[in-house]
A and B are shown apart, each in its own frame.
Chain A
Amino acid sequence: MPKVLRADNMNKCLGCFTCMLTCAAVNHNNHNLAKSSIKVKTRGGLQSKFAATICVACKEPACAEACPTNALVKRPGGGVKLIEEKCIACEKCVAACIVGSIHMDYDRKIPIVCKHCGACVRMCPHNCLSMEEVSE
């Protein structure tokens, strides 16, 4: 069964950002956590709780519907896969994602899209993140 990323335990988050450093490194070969697909931030100042903006793995992904070149295709279990060669960096997917999970990598001129690879989950020290098995 396919798996998707969940961030159901963010009250436990320490704000160490290891998930972001890992995603940026493993998926985007970059030390800058601005390249991470998962985005942890506070709800407003450090005195507030942490929240994670992640791809929620839509079964009917609006980002793919908005893509004019079929660069985003549905992946089994929800969410999308990016076919880089087809992407023209029009940013329509960014606007279409209402949870704000997609942002642009302006250095490479592609959107940063979650692969649901689970690397962030493996490196989270406080069990905030998990992979959930879902139907296709």
Chain B
Amino acid sequence: MIGKDFIRVLYIDLTNKKADIQERKDLYKYLGGAGVAAKLLEENMKKGVDPLHESQPIIISIGPLSTIFPVVTKAVATFISPHTGEYGESHAGGRLAMAIRNAGYDAIVITGKAQKPTYLVITDKNIEFKDARAMWGLDIEETGRVIREREPGPGKRSIIRIGKAGENLVTYSCVNVDTYRHFGRLGIGAVFGSKNLKAMMIMGEEDLPIANLKEYFKTYQEIYKKVTQTDAMAKYHELGTPMNIKVLNSISSLPTKNLLQSTFEHADDISGETFAEKNLVRKVSCVGCPIGCIHIGQFRREFDKGYEYESISVSYDHELIYALGSLLGIKTTDEVLQIIEEVELAGLDAITTGVVLAWATEALKKGLISREDTLADLEFGNTMEYVKAIDNIAERVNEFYYTIGKGLKEAVKKYGGEEFALLYGGNEMAGYHTGYAFALGQTVGARHSHLDNAGYSYDQSAKELKDDEIINYVINEEKERAVLTSLCICLFARKVYDRPTILKALNAVGINWTDDDLTRLANDVFFTKLKIKKELGYSLENYKFPKRIFETPTMWGKMDEERLNRLLKMYIERVEKEYEDWSRGK
């Protein structure tokens, strides 16, 4: 809590409709976010029990600087991933962090299973378990609207919810946060669904007095200036992340048509520039961020003859344009937006959905699966067929869709085609075919996200790829990011929040940490996650990379399988040794 030396945890038991609040001094040294959420997961998870069993927890945590400093906007969720069976962590912006802060909590732990579909209302004054039976089956947009109309507090609340994919336990269903943001990856939507938890609304007017206004506001303004008046973050506002499409395409790193290609002949037609010129209608921020990186694109769709149009607005980013655009061979911005809309309404993770469909397209062509399985003519570039397929995934309409609803790891067990299944560490590939550091980074990252350690960034900035340097970078960057994510600082602001700035902000709100404390935190969080993974049976021994990634050139040419395997071995040896030292020091 601001100005206090404890983490205020709200425990919610859905089975018994009871809540409990604990002020945890012992968690204070993990600050918040990923650190606190990982510790709370370690405490509350059930080893050897299905990730979707009602006893498994959902944890959401914010940090001591959340909302009250610029671009400290994220909430971090942890859970056991039904997608990978191991550590699940996902981050979301929007208004959630502000709402949790204003309700007076630092972390929320949800366990149990509601008897009937339920939505939770959490405020500083009450916790209510409300009937959501009539909402079951509604899409993301309608669910949001119903709660907005039923509950008070416009502008000050956060509404998070699942769609049909989450209800039907698709292992890559997401939780939508305030319409435009998501707990996207690793299937937290299914964990909500398994608990009969359709949605949560959070808000509050908790009194949060400022201990030292002068010091706080001085520091706030300094950071605000750095954010708004330097070029540290300008690109996120202008074209936003979609600027990557052109850049990656020009260096043979844009995964295209299930990575049969790393350049796309229509890249210019779906580039950030084209989106900005043709479709961009506004930009939106998460609360507390003056940047406004959320790009909203609009397109009109003819629903009947006689000039009958509807207009659709959805948010777009690089990862979506990659997974639901280039990877599926989609040639226009309007069509990409159309596919994004379908994914949004169903409540699916965009990256995994795109990668699964790209695999299915190739598997259908190769005859591993048939048209009777897919119920759609999946073919690169065929937008309307993909739209149909997305709905089929969410509805799990037949055995094929039921199987691919568990992701490619399960799909290849049944149908084969693992050589072109774009998986890294059990999770579907992100949009950067840049080289070894990316490939290694997503594989070994705690949550198998490209953002764990940003290997793609190393690939793109290195003058020469050296094995030792790659290993060092991937480990050090992931540890450094553990500090940022424990503070819930948006990773887009990583250049603004260097260590001296982080310490200044912490000191301004009375947390007198030193650089050594941050190093200690980085290691603790990094290895706590590894400990959790080990307890859940995770191992990279005998790990096999998919053949496809070696067949298609990266910006560094074709990758050599032996070298990547060697890098993986080097990584494992080094981290295992560090892990032993860390465990001994505990």
Given the complex of chains A and B, what is the CA–CA distance between A104 and B2 in angstroms?
A: 23
Is A33 a contact partner of B98 (Cβ separation < 8 A)? yes
Interface: A59 (CB within 8 A): no
Interface window among A18-26, A73-81, A86-94: A18-26
**Which of A16, A26, A39 has the largest count of B CB atoms less than 10 A from its CB?**
A16
Q: Which one, B98, B144, B213, B228, contacts A25 given CB within 8 A?
A: B213
B287, A107: Cβ atoms under 8 Å? no
Residues in A neighbouring B264, C-beta threshold 8 A = none
User: Do B224 and A123 have beta carbons less than 8 Å apart?
Assistant: yes
For residue B8, give the distance in angstroms from its CB to the closest CB of chain A.
14
For residue B148, which residues in chain A have a CB less than 8 angstroms away from its CB?
44-45
User: B154 contacts the other chain (Cβ, under 8 Å)?
Assistant: yes
Query: Is there an interface contact between B179 and A32, defined as CB atoms closer than 8 Å?
Result: no
A18 to B288, CA, bound (A): 6
CB-based A-B contact count at 8 angstroms: 92
Instruction: Tell whether A2 is near chain B: CB-to-CB under 8 Å.
Output: no
- Is B155 in the interface zone, CB < 8 Å from A? yes
Alpha-carbon gap, A29 to B212, bound state (A): 9
Interface size classification for chain B: 35 or more
Task: Give chain B residues whose Cβ lies under 8 Å from the Cβ of A33.
Answer: 98, 102, 156
Knowing A14-B290, A31-B2, A41-B155 are in contact, say whether A47-B210 is a contact too (CB < 8 A): no
The yes or no answer to A34 lying at the interface (CB within 8 A) is: yes
Identity of the chain A residue whose Cβ is nearest the Cβ of B73 in the assembled complex: A16
Q: Contact between B288 and A46 (Cβ–Cβ < 8 Å)?
A: no
Alpha-carbon distance between A126 and B206 when the two chains are bound, in angstroms: 29
Q: How many Å lie between the Cα of A10 and that of B326 in the bound state?
A: 36
Question: Closest Cβ of chain A: how far from B508's Cβ, in Å?
Answer: 12
Contact status B68-A29, CB under 8 Å: no
CB atoms of B208 and A47 under 8 A apart: no
Task: Give chain A residues whose Cβ lies under 8 Å from the Cβ of B209.
Answer: 29-31
Q: Which of B205, B286, B287, B289 contacts A32 (CB 8 A)?
A: B205
Instruction: Tell me which residues across on chain A come within 8 A of B313, comparing CB atoms.
Output: 47
Among A18, A31, A46, contact of B284 (Cβ-Cβ < 8 Å):
A46
Q: Is B216's CB within 8 Å of the partner chain A? A: yes
State whether B285 touches A16 (Cβ < 8 A): yes
B290 touches A30 (CB 8 A): no
Residues of chain A lying within 8 A (CB to CB) of residue B154: 41-42, 44
A68 on interface, CB distance cutoff 8 Å: no
On whether the beta carbons of B179 and A31 are closer than 8 Å, the reply is no
Residue B163 at the A interface, CB < 8 A?
Answer: no
Chain B residues with Cβ below 8 Å from A21 are: 67-68, 288
Chain B contacts for A18, CB-based, 8 A? 70, 224, 288, 290
**Which residues of B are found within 8 Å of A32, using beta-carbon distances?**
101-102, 204-208
The 8 A CB mask of B266-288 against A (1 = contact, 0 = none) is 00000000000000000111111
A87-136 at interface with B (beta carbon < 8 Å): 106-107, 123, 125-126
Nearest Cβ on chain A to B287's Cβ, whole angstroms: 5
Q: Which residues of A contact B205 (CB under 8 A)?
A: 32, 34, 106
Question: Complex Cα distance A21/B217, Å?
Answer: 11
Bound Cα distance from A31 to B288, whole angstroms: 11
**Does residue B556 face the partner (Cβ distance < 8 Å to A)?**
no
Convert A39-80 into 0s and 1s, putting 1 for each residue whose CB lies closer than 8 angstroms to a CB of B: 111101111000000000000000000000000000000000
| A46–B217 touching, CB < 8 Å | no
Q: Which residue of A lies closest to B283 (CB)?
A: A14
Contact call B156/A34, Cβ cutoff below 8 A = yes
When C-beta atoms are compared, the residue in chain A nearest to B220 turns out to be: A25
Contacts of B284 in A (CB 8 A): 14-15, 46
* Given A45-B144, A126-B292: A29 and B102 interface contact (C-beta under 8 Å): no
The CA-CA distance from A11 to B205 in the complex, in Å, is: 27
A40 adjacent to B292 (CB under 8 Å): no
Point out which of A21, A25, A31, A106 has the most chain B C-beta atoms below 10 A from its C-beta: A31
**Contacts A39-B155, A47-B179 given: A17-B288 contact, CB under 8 Å?**
yes
Q: Which of B72-127 contact A (CB under 8 A)?
A: 98, 101-102
CA distance A32 to B101 in the complex (A): 8
Which of A25, A34, A40, A106 touches B210 (beta carbons < 8 Å)? A25
B414 to chain A, nearest CB (A): 39
Q: Determine which of A16, A34, A46 lies in contact with B102 in the assembled complex, contact meaning CB atoms within 8 Å.
A: A34
B354-381 CB mask vs A (1 if < 8 Å, else 0) is 0000000000000000000000000000
CB distance from A88 to the nearest CB of B (A): 21
Query: A39 vs B154: C-alpha distance in the bound complex, in angstroms?
Result: 10
A16 to B69, CA, bound (A): 12
Q: Using Cβ atoms and an 8 Å threshold, which residues of chain B touch A45?
A: 144-145, 148, 179
Give A18 to B154 CA distance when docked, in angstroms.
17
Within 8 A of A (CB), among B182-227: 204-210, 213, 216-217, 220, 224
30 examples of A-B residue contacts, CB within 8 angstroms: A14-B284, A15-B284, A15-B285, A15-B287, A16-B287, A16-B288, A16-B291, A17-B285, A18-B70, A21-B68, A25-B220, A26-B213, A29-B210, A29-B213, A30-B208, A30-B209, A31-B101, A31-B209, A32-B205, A32-B208, A33-B98, A33-B102, A39-B155, A40-B155, A41-B154, A42-B154, A42-B155, A45-B148, A47-B179, A126-B290
Other A-B pairs beyond A29-B209, A107-B207, 6, CB < 8 Å: A16-B290, A17-B287, A25-B220, A30-B209, A125-B290, A125-B291
6 nearest A-B pairs in the assembled complex, by CB-CB distance: A41-B155, A125-B290, A14-B292, A16-B285, A31-B208, A14-B285
A interface with B by C-beta (< 8 Å): 14-18, 21, 25-26, 29-34, 39-42, 44-47, 106-107, 123, 125-126
